[in-house]
Amino acid sequence: MIGITTYVESARYSVHDCVAAVLPWAYVDQVSRAGGRPVLIPPMPDGGVEVLDGLDGLIVAGGADVEPARYGETPHPTVYTSPQRDAGELPLVRIALKTGLPLLGVCRGMQVMAVASGGRLHQHLPEAVGHGGHSTVGPVKVYAEHGVHFATGSRCREIYGAEAVVNSYHHQGVKDPGRMLPTAWCATDDLIEAIEHPDHPFAVGVQWHPEDMAANGLFQALVGAAAQLRGARGSKTEFFATV
């Protein structure tokens, strides 16, 4: 059972025009392909951390910037935030890191993991790295691409090998990973592209969007870690199958 946090956005569909909890279907598809059961998690003002009791793994999806006040800074003019998501996701991540619940952070999700671990972010990458190559400009999301290289002995290197080409769509990045360890870097400017927790069964954050890539290895690794946890604590599947 893999929980996936959702976006909070104005949405129009069918006869509805409203604020909605939404998620790109690619996340659901990747988790399903890897053998997991996706469970969508809307943000709750108090964190709603009891939801973790029913999960074997957690994915923190991409989306808006983390509020700079969460890491002790004032916002850059380009920052766009989702206070609801910060309030809902930071407690979930902190508990997942503390309890050993398998955890994957995607883009914003990696940045949430860094902030939850005492780290800080680059609020606007063009000013930090001197170029805008980590994102594209336009009304529709189009990925840039670049190479990354992985640390020896890291989870990411086990999955991707020594190097890989990844997609890219973000204007912020991790400056200080806090208690997390950097395990991947951009080939062109050394920006941190992945972080991992050294004392956790599976806690990986990546700056790219693996849900929109053909390779499924990262989701397979997460679901594999979740299956191990489920096996260790006992599954209720047989009980529910008889009800």
Cα–Cα distances (Å) from 163 to 159, 175, 210, in that order, read 10, 21, 15
- The per-residue pLDDT for 234 is 77
CATH class assigned to 2-242: alpha beta
Mean pLDDT of 137-147: 88
Lowest-pLDDT range, 40-49, 52-61, 129-138, 188-197? 129-138
Yes or no: say if 49 and 30 are a contact pair by the CB < 8 Å rule.
Answer: no
pLDDT tens digits for range 101-118: 999 999 999 999 999 999
Q: Specify the DSSP class assigned to residue 81.
A: B
Alpha helix segments (H runs only) across the chain = 25-33, 83-99, 108-116, 125-129, 155-160, 217-233, 237-242
pLDDT tens digits for range 163-178: 999 999 999 999 999 9
pLDDT tens digits for range 44-75: 999 999 999 999 999 999 999 999 999 999 99
pTM for the predicted model, two decimal places: 0.95
Tokens of 226: 């979740």
Q: Assess whether pLDDT exceeds 50 at residue 147.
A: yes
Burial class of 135 by CB neighbour count within 10 A (0 to 12, 13 to 18, 19+): middle
Cα separation of 38 and 2, whole Å? 5
Q: Which residues lie closer than 8 Å to 216 by C-beta, 6 or more apart?
A: 30, 33, 34
- The per-residue pLDDT for 236 is 56
- pLDDT higher for 232 or 151? 151
Query: Which residues participate in catalysis according to the annotation?
Result: 107, 209, 211
Yes or no: say if 110 and 205 are a contact pair by the CB < 8 Å rule.
Answer: yes
Q: How many CB atoms lie within 10 A of CB 150?
A: 21
Q: Assess whether pLDDT exceeds 90 at residue 43.
A: yes
Q: How many residues does the chain have?
A: 243
